[in-house]
Structure 1
Amino acid sequence: MALSFLTDNISRICYILTIFFNTSLIFLTVKFTRHIVGTYRNMIVTFAIFGIMLSTADILIRPVTFSMSLLHSYNGCFVYFTLGSAFRFSKKLSKIALLVHAGVYGLILVFLTVQFVYRAVLLSKSRKNWSRHFDGWKLVFWIFYAVSIAVIWAVSVNFVSSDEITNNYLRKMILADYGVEISTVTYNAILAYQKLFQNEEGPNKTVRWNSVQTIGTLSIIMTSHYIVMISCGIYMYHRTKLKFQNSSSAYDKLQKQFFHALIYQTTAPTLFFHLPVLFVVLAPFFDLKVSFNSSLVIYGISAYPLVDTLILLKVVKEYKNAYLSEFDFTILWNLLKKVSGFVGAIIKSCVEVCGEETPRNPQTLTNGIKNQTI
């Protein structure tokens, strides 16, 4: 019973914790940290806001029954869908919400790369010449760059929108596993192959090029930014080892801590989220005869912003010192209540505009077939 409650509400728990810790991170960064100033302070605040955006988007497109997955692998198809979300009575709004959710994830990946570049610039020999391209209002250009890539990410996901071919391929599975007719579900599907002729029986199939286009575009974005992060990471490692090996100043220690935090913020999601996603996205091209919902990947999405923030709070000692010595939790609590109230009002408005609660017990396969025959 307790385990079932935990699995059904793990995303809600992650959302609450993300709001709390990201809000506290922003508040600590702005009010209590002495050495985290200037451009990198603005980057930390911006990144924390992006994390809140991803968690909020994740909550809004989730079904009422949280044990239902947003991802499902079925033979030669990978489905990214929303069922029973806050936008469930409008397929158009549900579609937009799915694309926003996908885009914000891409936004976080790109802006993490921007942070790597900036940290590498600060450790370079000509940092004064390069860092000025990030300082002050020029940071807006880097945010605009990240948002632009996020839009490309979302548009790429939209390449694999639902159509009659994917509807026919997924209809029986969606009805059997989720108790709904596929035409009522908002989804994007990477279907690797399709029959040359719809009524043809046999192995003759052709590649779905829109799926190849989506995977190709997303792969280029991820690979290029990972190459930049790895290159900057290697450069920062050598510069840190060379420059700060025997240094004991507070500034130099802080630079090393930020370097370690960025490495952890990249390694953790890569191992526990990006690689599993890569597997389930590429699986359709192997045409495996399997069907499973990717709940663990979904839990990774929910925990992703929270883990990033916890890493920063754990590794950078100035945050721990601020928590223990200077921080007044009553101030944070009042701020958190205001933020939670604001976010709650948005979610409530979405629910009121888009419809009533979805029944918690979706129709079964038998009931679904009966309803179709009536």
Structure 2
Amino acid sequence: MFSGIEIFAKPFAHNHNNSMTYFSLNTDDFPEWVKQLLLVLWAGFYSLIVAAVAIQFIFRYLCLLGAEVTKHSNWFQNILWVSYPILPGTVYAVLLYVLSMPDEYSDAYVKDAIFNNYDLVLDNLPRFIMATYTADGSVRWKNLSYLGSAGGIVFVHYAIIIICGIKMHFKMKQGLQMFSVANQKLQKQFFKALIFQSLGPTIFIFLPAIPVLLGPLIPLNGVEVSYQSGWLFSVIGAYPPFDSISFMIIVVEYMKVIKSRYFKVFTGKSVSSVNTVSDQSRQKGNRMYANC
């Protein structure tokens, strides 16, 4: 759904001094309110994914501890686990719509920057604008509240991921001594996959948010800054395949299954059946050598 909404929303962003313009590059004949709704939904789904990754790490940590809540959860608890990310996603989207609607000052502030960088007339764009200060230096509290709240939602969940990842690291080192040698090898692979799955959100979800959300908050002291930050949104879309592929590559057991099925599709034989045939041929050759 996140990727599908992106196709129609075509979200992009531009940071200009102490402002961030979040707008749609969709040129289809949709009403402006529909394009704005798509922008809001895309932003909400971004926050939902952030929260979902954090919940995943919390659940893994509780599983590692052998917590009762993961062993004996009922249907209601399962619904809570799955539905929680909807809450921060909804809050993120609602705050964007309520606190970042363009007004006369914000439009005038970024109008020239949008035209100079994209040859686009701002009035024709579905947009949300976060301009944190007025011309006399006073704070625009609505826009500042949104940036603070959005940044808080993102970075709180990132902190959860980091804390759970660190705690799992130490717990797994202690717990490895209780496993057999074979199981230790498997658990080490899971831990290595965990490291990569911690790097994934960092690189693809949180780092792109820093220049976009925090840029308007940094005091510039008269320095002119203007950059296209919307290209970072494409980095976010690379997270889901990275998360899955890294896990499948690192954990050997998954690679065995993938190789066997891949091999079977193209040859009609699985790796296990090929191994069986080769073993039989080798045994037959050994018998012939013994007879000779």
Partner SS state of residue 81, structure 1: strand
CA distance in 2, matches of 1:279, 1:294: 7
Please tell me whether the aligned partners of residues 119 and 259 of structure 1 are also in contact (alpha carbons under 8 angstroms).
no
Please tell me whether the aligned partners of residues 113 and 225 of structure 1 are also in contact (alpha carbons under 8 angstroms).
yes
Matched AA of 1:107? L
Partner SS state of residue 102, structure 1: helix
What is the match of residue 150 of structure 1? 89
CA distance in 2, matches of 1:219, 1:56: 24
Q: 1:317 offset after TM fit, Å? A: 2.8
Matched AA of 1:207? V
Matched AA of 1:110? A
Compared CA separation, residues 145 and 275, structure 1 to 2 (3 A): same
Please tell me whether the aligned partners of residues 165 and 198 of structure 2 are also in contact (alpha carbons under 8 angstroms).
no
Matched AA of 2:14? H
Partner SS state of residue 207, structure 2: helix
Once the two structures are superposed, the pairs formed by residues 155-194 of structure 1 within 5 Å of their partners are 155-158=94-97, 159-194=99-134
- Give aligned-pair identity as a percent: 30
Compared CA separation, residues 176 and 128, structure 1 to 2 (3 A): closer
Given the alignment of the two structures, is residue 70 of structure 1 paired with residue 12 of structure 2, yes or no? yes
Compared CA separation, residues 75 and 251, structure 1 to 2 (3 A): same
Please tell me whether the aligned partners of residues 158 and 206 of structure 2 are also in contact (alpha carbons under 8 angstroms).
no
Please tell me whether the aligned partners of residues 81 and 188 of structure 1 are also in contact (alpha carbons under 8 angstroms).
yes
In structure 2, list runs of 5 or more residues that go unmatched: 267-292
Task: Choose from 14, 22, 36 the match for 1:95.
Answer: 36
**Normalised TM-score (structure 1):** 0.63
Compared CA separation, residues 109 and 259, structure 1 to 2 (3 A): farther
Please tell me whether the aligned partners of residues 73 and 79 of structure 1 are also in contact (alpha carbons under 8 angstroms).
yes
Greater Cα offset, 270-279 or 248-257:
248-257
CA distance in 2, matches of 1:229, 1:214: 23
What is the match of residue 340 of structure 1? none
Partner SS state of residue 221, structure 1: helix
Compared CA separation, residues 112 and 294, structure 1 to 2 (3 A): same
What is the match of residue 242 of structure 1? 174
Task: Choose from 10, 35, 57 the match for 1:116.
Answer: 57
Matched AA of 2:86? V
Matched AA of 1:314? I
Matched AA of 1:129? E
Given the alignment of the two structures, is residue 59 of structure 1 paired with residue 7 of structure 2, yes or no? yes
CA distance in 1, matches of 2:6, 2:167: 35
RMSD (CA atoms): 2.6
Q: 1:166 offset after TM fit, Å? A: 1.4
Please tell me whether the aligned partners of residues 55 and 305 of structure 1 are also in contact (alpha carbons under 8 angstroms).
no
Task: Choose from 150, 153, 159 the match for 1:218.
Answer: 150
Q: Deviations over 1:100-154 (max 9, x none)?
A: 1111111111111111111111111xx2512146565632211211111110111
Q: 1:220 offset after TM fit, Å? A: 2.4
In structure 1, list runs of 5 or more residues that go unmatched: 1-52, 63-68, 196-203, 331-374
Partner SS state of residue 89, structure 1: coil
Compared CA separation, residues 81 and 318, structure 1 to 2 (3 A): farther
Instruction: Say which structure, 1 or 2, has more relative contact order (CA 8 Å, 6+ apart).
Output: 1
Compared CA separation, residues 210 and 315, structure 1 to 2 (3 A): farther
Once the two structures are superposed, the pairs formed by residues 165-314 of structure 1 within 5 Å of their partners are 165-195=105-135, 204-245=136-177, 247-248=179-180, 253-271=185-203, 273-285=205-217, 286-287=219-220, 288-314=223-249
Given the alignment of the two structures, is residue 315 of structure 1 paired with residue 250 of structure 2, yes or no? yes
- Matched residue count: 261
Partner SS state of residue 73, structure 1: strand
Partner SS state of residue 128, structure 2: strand
**Normalised TM-score (structure 2):** 0.79
CA distance in 1, matches of 2:148, 2:240: 26
What is the match of residue 289 of structure 2? none
Please tell me whether the aligned partners of residues 72 and 80 of structure 1 are also in contact (alpha carbons under 8 angstroms).
yes
CA distance in 2, matches of 1:113, 1:85: 35
CA distance in 1, matches of 2:27, 2:254: 36
Q: 1:74 offset after TM fit, Å? A: 1.4
Partner SS state of residue 85, structure 2: helix
CA distance in 1, matches of 2:49, 2:72: 20
What is the match of residue 106 of structure 1? 47
* Bigger Cα Rg: 2
Compared CA separation, residues 228 and 273, structure 1 to 2 (3 A): closer
